[in-house]
Structures are given as structure tokens and as C-alpha cells.
Amino acid sequence: MITEIVKIDFSKPLDAQVQKCAETIVRGGLVAFPTETVYGLGGNALDADAAKKIYAAKGRPSDNPLIIHIEKPSDAEEYCLTNDSYYKIANAFMPGPITVILPKKEIIPFSVTGGLSTVAVRCPEHPVARALIRAAGVPIAAPSANTSGRPSPTSASHVIEDLSSKIDAIIDGGDSEIGLESTIVMPRDGGVTVLRPGGITVEMLSEIFDDVTLDEGIVKKNESASAPLAPGMKYRHYAPRATVFLIKDVGNADFDGRVKRFLKGKLDREPLTGVICFDEYRDEIIGKNVFYFGKKADDDEHAKRLFDILRRFDKTDAPEIYATASDLRGVGLAIYNRMLKASGFNILEI
């Protein structure tokens, strides 16, 4: 199949530019599109066969459910059983990088939800995503537009790398603003459980709910035999080919000094060692496979750059990768969670 690339011109009206892609989706085809979190691989969420095509294109296990994207919060009424918590979240954070799990209505096929009786709903903020959903007139089922297991795509070129010739079209709307997938929450009596951390932080959720609980799998390896609440999180994710070690700050004095000495030692012995570190290390930590992902305190920048850097490592000859972890507050928790998955929970305490 020839994949058409549709480059968006933001100085012109969007509706006409996405019209053909919207028709492709309605017909049962697949279109990758930009959102503020990462690029999504979209298909008609009311079409069981479109969902199957999404799983096939990504090589994704079919028990890993998709998120359905709607234009405005009240559109959810048609597809799931909403509740007060949903509207509380919607009023505070939608459109935006948050996904809510709700009981599904019959109209949503089980192939979209990986066989679950619940469905994940999100209302994206990105103007191109919104124009596409509006023009299609159907909810758009979309997981991240990457090959299963690889880092989520934060630019059209990442999608081209993974899915060219496997899908009908890719809409190029530039780099993703946030760079990490949406926060996923499940409402429950008196509060919410966070299943996946993201751009809407625990701190932000705590402003509207008294009780915000974190799913255990966010910072710990899920070793129990029971089904995890967010099925996708059980799979190996974001992993470059080389082994990744995550360097965690456990409160020892002079953390940066210790880390720099450790990294220098590694680079002296093996100059091809892969490193992801803060901009502040730039003068001392130098090497062919060293990437700087923003100032230490700049979580938003780390979020934006992380997946692109992880992908770049696959084009290097780094035998091992050492990454400095972010602070766990705010968006830092989401970054730490993705780095844990990329490292397969390989933590170094220095």
C-alpha cells in the first residue's frame, strides 16, 4: 500500500486539508494524525474491522485496548456510561491530555476495547485532531502510531519510520507539544485511580478530587498474575535495542557529582556508551552517543524529547545506555514511568 503524506499548512483552514483523510477513516481505512500528546493511528471506532487493522499495522496484541477520541466531552454519552467524576474531569481538563475509563455502550465493538466492558475516552486539544474527528463524524479509535514495543511517535517522521506502506495516510502536523501519552484515569467512588501518568499530573487531579490513588504498576514491575487495570502497561515498551540503566536519585549527597563521576568513568572505558543526561552536564559529559534532554528542572522539555532520543539510540552503536531520571513530581512521574519501562525496571542507585 502507498501511504499518502498530508502536510498541514497551519496558515490555511484545516477542515479542507483533513477532509480526504476523514473520508478514509469513515470507509474503514487507517490514518495517523498529530495530537498534543503523541501521534495516533486512527480508525473508525464504530467499525470492528478497522480496529483489527490497527492491531495488525502496529503488531499490537489484541488484548491491549484502544482509546476512542471524541470532539467534545458530551459526545461520550453516545458511546459510554458517563458519571459525575467524568464531567468533573472534563470541566477541568478537556480538551487535553487525559483519558477516562468508563463502562462502554453496545455501539463500541469489543475489538476496540480488547474484550473489556469498559472503554477509554479522550478529547484531544490539537486542532488537526479535532478537525479530523469533526470531519469524520465518528469517534476515532487510536493508539499511539508506532510499531508495538517501540517508543511512541512524537513527529510524522517517527510514524513514517514505523508504519509507511502499512496504512492509508499520515497527517504531518509537526512535533507533538507534550511528547508523552495521555494521563489515564479510572473514576471510582470518592476519587480516581491513575492508571498511567501523563501531562495532567497527580497534583492537578488532587485539586479536584480528595482521593487520587496511583496504580501500583506505575513505579513497580507488575509481577502479579492478575489482570492489570491498564492492560497496555503490562507490555514491554519504548525499549531501544541496547540495555538501558536508569540512574535514580535516592537522596544521597551531591547526586549530580556522583552521577557525573560515574558517567565519566563509563565513557573513559567505553567511549560509545549511550547517555541521556541534563543540559547542566554538557561541559563534562561528552561522547558520540551522549544526548542532553533539557535543563534538570525542565520536565516539560524532558517529556518532549525523551521518545525521540530513545528512537535515535537505535541508529547508534551504543552498547549500553545510562539515563538520568527526572524528579518524580508533576510531569516527572510520567517521564520516570516511561524510563522505567524503557529500562525494563533496570534501576541504578548512585
Residues near Mg ion, by CB under 5 A: 143-144
- Nearer to ligand AMP by Cβ, of 38 and 290: the residue is 38
Per-residue DSSP letter, 3 = P
- Closer residue to ligand AMP, CB minimum distance, 113 or 326: 113
C-alpha cell at 230: 491498564
Give the shortest CB-230-to-ligand AMP separation in angstroms. 4
Task: Find the shortest distance in angstroms from Cβ 64 to ligand AMP.
Answer: 5
- Which one, 59 or 137, has the nearer CB to Mg ion? 59
Name the residue type at position 152. Answer: S
Dihedral angle over CA of 240, 38, 299, 73, nearest 10 = -140
**Cβ-closest residue to ligand AMP?**
232
Give least dist CB 186 to ligand AMP, A.
Answer: 7
Residue 150 or residue 304: which is nearer to Mg ion going by CB? 150
Least gap, CB of 60 to Mg ion (angstroms):
8
Which partner, Mg ion, ligand AMP, none, binds residue 113 by CB below 5 to 8 Å per kind?
A: ligand AMP
C-alpha cell at 177: 507539544
Please give the DSSP secondary-structure letter assigned to residue 95. Answer: S
In the bound state with ligand AMP, the residue whose beta carbon lies nearer, of 119 and 123, is 119
**Smaller CB distance to ligand AMP: residue 128 or 233?**
233
Binding partner selected for residue 120 from Mg ion, ligand AMP, none, CB under the kind-specific 5 to 8 Å limit: ligand AMP
DSSP assignment, residue 151?
Answer: P
- CB distance 319 to 339 below 8 Å: no
Q: What does 176 bind: ligand AMP, Mg ion, none (CB cut-off 5 to 8 Å by kind)?
A: none
Quick one: what does residue 119 bind among Mg ion, ligand AMP, none, with the CB cut-off 5 to 8 Å set by partner type? ligand AMP
272 binds, among ligand AMP, Mg ion, none (CB under 5 to 8 A by kind): none
Least distance (Å) between residue 38 CB and ligand AMP: 7
Say which residues have a Cβ less than 8 Å from residue 76's Cβ, sequence separation at least 6: 70, 82, 86, 102, 121
Query: Which of ligand AMP, Mg ion, none does residue 273 bind (CB under 5 to 8 Å by kind)?
Result: none
Is residue 348 within 8 Å of residue 248, measured between CB atoms? yes
Residue with cell 557529582: 257
Q: Give the DSSP letter of residue 89.
A: H
Phi, psi torsion values for 126, nearest 5 degrees: -60, 130
Q: Which is nearer to Mg ion, 42 or 287 (CB)?
A: 42
Residues that bind ligand AMP in the complex, under the rule CB under 6 A: 64-65, 67, 101, 113, 116, 118-120, 143-144, 181, 184, 195, 229-233
Instruction: Detail the DSSP E strand segments found in the chain.
Output: 4-7, 31-33, 40-44, 67-69, 98-103, 118-122, 140-142, 169-172, 183-188, 191-196, 211-214, 243-248, 274-277, 290-292, 320-324, 347-349
Least distance CB 266 / ligand AMP (angstroms): 32
CA–CA distance, 86 with 286 (Å, rounded to integer): 48
- Grid cell locating 134: 469533526
The partner in contact with residue 118, picked from Mg ion, ligand AMP, none with C-beta cut-offs of 5 to 8 angstroms by kind, is ligand AMP
